[in-house]
């Protein structure tokens, strides 16, 4: 064979015949790099025992099939959101204002207000606590900024 000759070879991965133009070096085993990785980096899923396949981005054998990998991602996301809920509920019980909770969790004040509203609708123990008597509101109004903040809290929390 000389350079430029064309041969049909069989891929060791997918078994397809592919066209190869002779150049120096040994005969290729794979029809494509994708096929090589898919075959070499296949393995057994550590969770379900199913077959895993590498892809062109793989840098080594694949430990977990894409379904199990996805399930783990969902679990982690759920755990993270559970943790955030618990934190919000705990801070609420400690009497922190929405503004303070937002600051603690690095959220915006407004979005924390709607998050608390949503958690409350979903049944989290976040009792309304900014209900003030008219006298109380009048007294607080005199306290200027502080009252305004509480009224804003109440509006958001209601």
- Window 9 to 48, contacts with Zn ion (CB under 5 A): 11, 13-14, 31, 35, 45, 47-48
Closest to Zn ion by CB, 71 or 91: 71
Closest to Zn ion by CB, 51 or 108: 51
Cα–Cα distance between 153 and 112 in angstroms, integer? 10
DSSP3 helix / strand / coil % (the chain, rounded to 5):
50, 10, 40
Total binding residues toward Zn ion, as defined by CB under 5 A: 11
**Secondary structure (DSSP) of 53-65:** ---TT-SS---S-
Instruction: Report angle CA 68, 70, 74 to the nearest 5 degrees.
Output: 115
Q: How far is the CB of 24 from Zn ion (least distance, A)?
A: 22
Measured distance between the N- and C-terminal CA atoms of the chain, rounded to whole angstroms: 83
Q: How far is the CB of 56 from Zn ion (least distance, A)?
A: 12
Site string for Zn ion, 74-113 (x = CB under 5 A): ----------------------------------------
Any contact of residue 138 with Zn ion (CB under 5 A)? no
Cα–Cα distance between 5 and 134 in angstroms, integer? 94
Cα–Cα distance between 41 and 58 in angstroms, integer? 7
Any contact of residue 116 with Zn ion (CB under 5 A)? no
Q: Site residues (CB under 5 A) for Zn ion?
A: 11, 13-14, 31, 35, 45, 47-48, 50, 65, 68
């Amino acid at each position: 064979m000389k350079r430029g000759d064309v041969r049909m070879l069989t891929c060791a991965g997918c078994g397809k015949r592919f066209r190869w133009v002779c150049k120096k070096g040994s005969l290729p085993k794979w029809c494509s790099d994708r096929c090589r990785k898919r075959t070499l980096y296949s393995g057994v899923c550590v969770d379900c025992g199913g077959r895993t396949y590498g892809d062109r981005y793989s840098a080594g054998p694949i430990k977990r099939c894409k379904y199990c990998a996805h399930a783990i991602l969902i679990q982690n996301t759920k755990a993270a959101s559970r943790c955030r809920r618990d934190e919000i509920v705990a801070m609420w019980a400690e009497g922190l204002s929405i503004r303070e909770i937002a600051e603690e969790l690095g959220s915006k004040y407004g979005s924390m207000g709607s998050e608390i509203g949503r958690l409350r609708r979903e049944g989290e123990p976040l009792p309304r606590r900014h209900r003030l008597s008219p006298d109380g509101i009048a007294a607080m109004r005199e306290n200027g900024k502080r009252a305004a903040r509480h009224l804003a809290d109440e509006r958001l929390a209601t």
